[in-house]
Amino acid sequence: MVQPPGIYQGAANVIAALMLLLEFGMLRQALVRDQVRLYAAQSALLSVLAVVIAADRNLPDLYALAALSAALKVVAVPLVLRRLLRTDDSDEPAGVAGSYTLNPASAVLASIGLAAFGFFTFGAFHLNGPAAPALALAIAGAMVFVAFGLMIVRHDVASQAVGFFSLENAISLAALVVAAGLPLILETAILFDLLVAVVVFGMLIRAHHSRAESMSTGDLTRLRG
Amino acid sequence: MSAALPIPVIQLLQVLTVALGAPAITGVIAKVEARLQGRRGPRVLQPYYDLYKLCRKEALAPEQASWFFLAAPVIAVAAYLTIPLLIPVLTTYGLPLGYMGDILGGGFLLSLASFVVATAALETGSPYAQLGSSRAKTFSAITEPVVLFVVFTVALLTGTDLPYALAATVRSSAGQVIRPAHLLASAALFMVILHETGRIPVETHTGTNEFGMIEEARSFEHSGPYFALLKWGSELKQLILFTILADVFVVPWGLASSQRLGAVALAIVALLAKATAVGCVVAVIDNSFAKLRLFKITEYVSAAFLLAVLGVFTLYRGGG
């Protein structure tokens, strides 16, 4: 029998598992609009997890981090992404829907393999903390690999950007469960790194769209003189 | 207080509750579904009238069909009526016959029932019935891994694969409820049940549209009392699956913990209430999602598989 780890720990694990499920949701979602929505939901779960850990381990500065992270990743980044991806005639840019290299069912099965790899390699780290977060850390590892999987199976720049941002969510999850007591200033600095990534990706997306009239990276394989 | 019931009577009551309650649950779902669509809908008791009407009609069989064609509905209903002996329907304690089989035993009986009905449908030579049975077998083969992983989760959580043991584990503490393994396995099982009872993702429960027909098509050639048995069988299957979901996985509370008459009566009411609640959720889900194309079914099943596999994974690290 596998004994349960307790309520707070259990709740943290459930939230981590839900974040992983949303990662899979982004993987199989056809439209970038829905992917951005799932990304916002995943970031919201991350803030909830920060609140749970703050309450569990009595770390008041995590509340501040949760609020800041929610403001940035639930509101600002999705807003900017949606603005970037909007074209004159529609909300959904060309070249995103149907940019699968695998059909959704196969992509999910392949990513289960990736998730298993990430899960068991990250899970093999033996941490001796006050509340050893083995499961949530392993789930964060699985998320990292599924996010890579998402960037690999979709060949459009918009999904790849969303995959990259959710990769940052996975890293934040790992940081949160392993080193919750990290000084606030350091965590905020990491958070602001994300903003740089958003700006860089935004420029790349705009540049690609203005050259290729589509989000698909399939056009890049053609040589142009 | 009230008189204690002998164990065999309670065991019989488990079967009778499922046998007599099943059409009512179907009636409630049909009613709720109709209200959601802005129709008045049939009476809640309509499935009973349907069964009564069919029982008085003549039974016909195709000329080439063998005795098996007529035996299949009887075997299927017998299999469905055996399952309530194995799962916690009314009591928290295991009844003597409850240890005849574990979760896999119940699964075997469900598959046996579905297998005989599919074989009988093949016997008829009617294209629709054959299409239904071939589809039903194909898709049950792809949902089978999900069910297996749910059983693995149960086995890892409890150290046995008895449904009574899981229900007792879930009742034992809140920490057993709020753990990813339990929640993921329950969600995966719920997705399988939606598929198995013909709600989501492709089948229209009552429709005669052959694009989305799986299980419903198999009974096309049966008539009279045999058709009534098949209809009753699918209602039984639905209530049995709802009971497994509610009494084993999600809300194993409200079961009788003693042999007293009052406790058992309360458990019967609680079971029907829980099944009705599950039925309402199912009706809402059925009404709020568009049906998928037939071959998109793999996407739905892969999602359920993902939940079940992650449930097993989480048990290997940090106690899930």
| DSSP state at residue A216 | B
Least trusted range by pLDDT, from A63-67, A116-120, B194-198, B299-303: B194-198
Helix or strand or coil: residue B157?
helix
Residue A131 has pLDDT above 60, yes or no: no
Residue A132 has pLDDT above 60, yes or no: no
Residues of chain B with pLDDT under 70: 1-2, 204-212, 318-320
What integer best gives the mean pLDDT of chain B? 88
B246 contact partners, CB below 8 Å, separation of at least 6: B252, B271, B274, B275, B277, B278
Least trusted range by pLDDT, from A96-105, A197-206, B15-24, B235-244: A96-105
What's the CA gap between B303 and A28, in Å, rounded? 10
What's the CA gap between A205 and A214, in Å, rounded? 10
Closest approach of A108 to chain B, Cα-based (Å): 7
Residue A69 has pLDDT above 80, yes or no: yes
Alpha-carbon dihedral angle through residues B144, B150, B153, B154, given to the nearest 10 degrees: -110
pLDDT the model gives residue B197: 85
Least trusted range by pLDDT, from A27-41, A201-215, B15-29: A201-215
pLDDT the model gives residue B162: 85
Instruction: Please report which residue ranges of chain B form alpha helices under DSSP H.
Output: 7-36, 46-55, 67-86, 103-123, 127-158, 163-172, 174-177, 180-196, 224-243, 261-288, 297-314
Across the interface, whether the CB atoms of A4 and B314 are under 8 A apart is answered: no
Q: How many CB atoms lie within 10 A of CB A146?
A: 28
Which of B36, B45, B219 shows the shortest CA–CA distance to B118?
A: B219
pLDDT per residue as tens digits for the range B126-141: 888 888 898 889 888 8
pLDDT per residue as tens digits for the range A136-166: 889 999 999 999 999 999 888 888 999 999 9
Residues of A with a Cβ under 8 Å from any B Cβ are: 1-7, 9-11, 13-14, 16-17, 20-21, 24, 28, 103-105, 108-109, 112, 115-116, 119-120, 123, 132-136, 138-139, 142
pLDDT the model gives residue B306: 95
Across the interface, whether the CB atoms of B302 and A116 are under 8 A apart is answered: no
Helix or strand or coil: residue A156?
strand
pLDDT the model gives residue B13: 92
B residues 140-169 near A, CB within 8 Å?
156-159
pLDDT the model gives residue B207: 56
Closest approach of B174 to chain A, Cα-based (Å): 7
Report ipTM for this prediction.
0.88
Helix or strand or coil: residue A180?
coil
Helix or strand or coil: residue A100?
strand
Chains A, B: CB contacts within 8 A come to 98
Closest approach of A120 to chain B, Cα-based (Å): 8
Across the interface, whether the CB atoms of A135 and B178 are under 8 A apart is answered: no
Closest approach of A107 to chain B, Cα-based (Å): 9
pLDDT the model gives residue A101: 83
Sequence spans of domains, chain A: 7-211
Q: How many CB atoms lie within 10 A of CB B209?
A: 10
Q: Quick check: B310 and A131 in contact, CB under 8 A?
A: no
| DSSP state at residue B296 | G
What's the CA gap between B121 and B73, in Å, rounded? 10
Residues of A in contact with B302 (CB under 8 A): 104-105, 108-109
Q: Quick check: B146 and B192 in contact, CB under 8 A?
A: yes
Across the interface, whether the CB atoms of B314 and A135 are under 8 A apart is answered: yes
Among B162, B184, B300, B306, most A C-beta atoms within 10 A, so best to mutate, is B306
Closest approach of B63 to chain A, Cα-based (Å): 43
- A42-48 mean pLDDT: 95
Q: Quick check: A93 and B287 in contact, CB under 8 A?
A: no
B21 contact partners, CB below 8 Å, separation of at least 6: B239, B271, B272, B275
